[in-house]
């Protein structure tokens, strides 16, 4: 029986694979963020789901053990003062502030993203309390919870929800607009929206801009102060690696803080919380965004996790993010047969977050098989494969491997 020979196309694919793998190795060798990878507890899998849950910073378990065993176990109630638990929401907010372009004193950490969206939307309407401004514009492609919360906020404040595609937001603004709630990065497609331009348009219409930063904070520059954002919210368990269910945060621009009227006034946002008076008087500054007792275990785990950002510039992270997603799209184009996947993520850098979303037939089976083969991404039903690129621990060799395995799964 004659020996089997490889087809010319197989030879070309093998040469292309070798070439891309060599480029990946060279890019990793030149990567100035490569040293950050060792700060995380990682295995051999390619982890491309950090836009759902960030990887564990390796030092966090020991820090949490200290909080549990010494601060809670030994110091007990004394840790509110001796361990400085009381100031954690503002202290950690100031730690997050440089990552989103905010000066100190404008971010408070606590509660969930959903709760903070509620505070921000109702707070925005109360700040812009003109009876003629009857509309709250909401990103029509938003993560569902934002829409649910905004609808409830509208009912509570007597306003009307107006769903608008971000591409049409500017034309939808007008004298009846009270506030606009927009996602900085679309959770499904990875599209990056124009925060500076849209914020300016919202202000030109006399309205307030509320931004959801869940899929941008820790992946790219935001510039809250520089671009005049009014209020913003975000989670900390994605690119900030704070852990499952880690507390979210609320940004209230300094110029609005004295008038910010939270719809959820709690005892820890009181000007004198331990007076226990029946009447409410809001604290000054970002503290008035608090509600109840902080979740100390999650809060201090987040504080420890944020140490991986010491000495790292968000601009450097953005440059690597774009390089990774460019390289992934190039590898997908080289390895995956034409027509098998379609990118939903914009090719233009100015419109791309830190993820790539691919439309794919039989996506649930494909993602299940990818995960079994050590490439962990995310599925958005019915047909979207979503891959998040966290520059602190994802490398170019990871990226090439992910595209190659995807092609193998689709071929199988």
Q: Enumerate the active-site residues.
A: 143, 212, 237-238, 386
Secondary structure in 3-state letters for the chain: CCCCCCCHHHHHHHHHHHHHHHHHHHHHHCCCCHHHHHHECCCCCEECCCCCCCCCECCHHHHHHHHHHHHHHHHHHHHHHHCCCCCHHHHHHHHHHHHHCCCCCCEEECCCHHHHHHHHHHHHHHHCCCCCCCEEEEECCCCHHHHHHHHHHHHHHCCEEEEECHHHHHHHCCCCEEEEEEECECCCCCEECCHHHHHHHHHHCCCEEEEECCCCCCCCCCCCCCCCCCEEEECCCCCCCCCCCCCCEEEECHHHHCCCCCCCCCHHHECCHHHCCCCCCECCHHHHHCCCCCCHHHHHHHHHHHHHHCCCCHHHHHHHHHHHHHHHHHHHHHHCCCCCEEECCCCCHHHECCEEEEEECCHHHHHHHHHHCCEECEEECCCEEEEECCCCCCCHHHHHHHHHHHHHHHHC
**Which residues line the annotated binding site?**
113-114, 143-146, 212, 215, 237, 267, 293
**Which residues line the annotated binding site for pyridoxal 5'-phosphate?**
113-114, 143-146, 212, 215, 237, 267, 293
């Amino acid at each position: 029986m004659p020996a089997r020979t490889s087809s010319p196309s197989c030879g070309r694919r093998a040469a292309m694979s070798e070439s891309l793998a060599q480029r990946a190795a060279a890019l990793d060798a030149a990567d100035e963020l490569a040293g950050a990878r060792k700060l995380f507890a990682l295995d051999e899998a390619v982890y491309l789901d950090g836009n759902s849950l960030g990887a564990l910073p390796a030092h966090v378990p020991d820090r949490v053990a200290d909080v549990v065993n010494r601060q809670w176990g030994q110091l007990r109630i004394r840790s509110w003062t001796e361990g400085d638990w009381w100031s954690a929401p503002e202290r950690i907010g100031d730690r997050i502030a440089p990552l989103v372009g905010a000066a100190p004193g404008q971010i408070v950490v606590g509660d969930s993203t959903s709760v903070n969206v509620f505070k921000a939307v109702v707070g925005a309407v109360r700040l812009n309390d003109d009876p003629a401004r009857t509309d709250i514009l909401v990103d029509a492609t938003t993560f569902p919870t934002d829409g649910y919360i905004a609808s409830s906020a509208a009912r509570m404040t007597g306003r009307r929800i107006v769903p608008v595609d971000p591409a049409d937001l500017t034309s939808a603004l007008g004298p009846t607009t009270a506030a606009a709630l927009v996602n900085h990065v679309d959770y499904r497609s990875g599209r990056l929206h124009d925060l500076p331009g849209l914020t300016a348009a919202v202000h030109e219409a006399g309205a307030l801009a509320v931004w959801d930063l869940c899929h941008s904070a820790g992946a790219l520059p935001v510039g809250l102060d520089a671009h005049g954002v009014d209020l913003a919210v975000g989670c900390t368990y994605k690119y900030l690696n704070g852990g499952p269910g880690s507390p979210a945060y609320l940004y209230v621009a300094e110029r609005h803080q004295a008038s910010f009227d939270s719809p959820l006034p709690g005892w820890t946002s009181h000007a004198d919380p331990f007076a226990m008076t029946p009447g409410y008087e809001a604290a000054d500054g970002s503290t008035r965004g608090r509600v109840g007792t902080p979740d100390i275990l999650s809060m201090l785990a987040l504080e420890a996790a944020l140490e991986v950002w010491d000495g790292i510039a968000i601009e450097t992270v953005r440059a690597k993010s774009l390089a990774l997603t460019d390289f992934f799209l190039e590898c997908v184009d080289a390895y995956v047969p034409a027509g098998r996947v379609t990118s939903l993520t914009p090719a233009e850098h100015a419109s791309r977050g830190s993820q790539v979303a691919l439309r794919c037939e039989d996506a649930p089976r494909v993602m299940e098989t990818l995960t079994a083969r050590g490439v962990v991404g995310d599925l958005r039903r019915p047909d979207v494969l979503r891959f998040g690129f966290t520059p602190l621990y994802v490398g170019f060799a990871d990226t090439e491997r992910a595209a190659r395995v995807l092609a193998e799964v689709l071929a199988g």
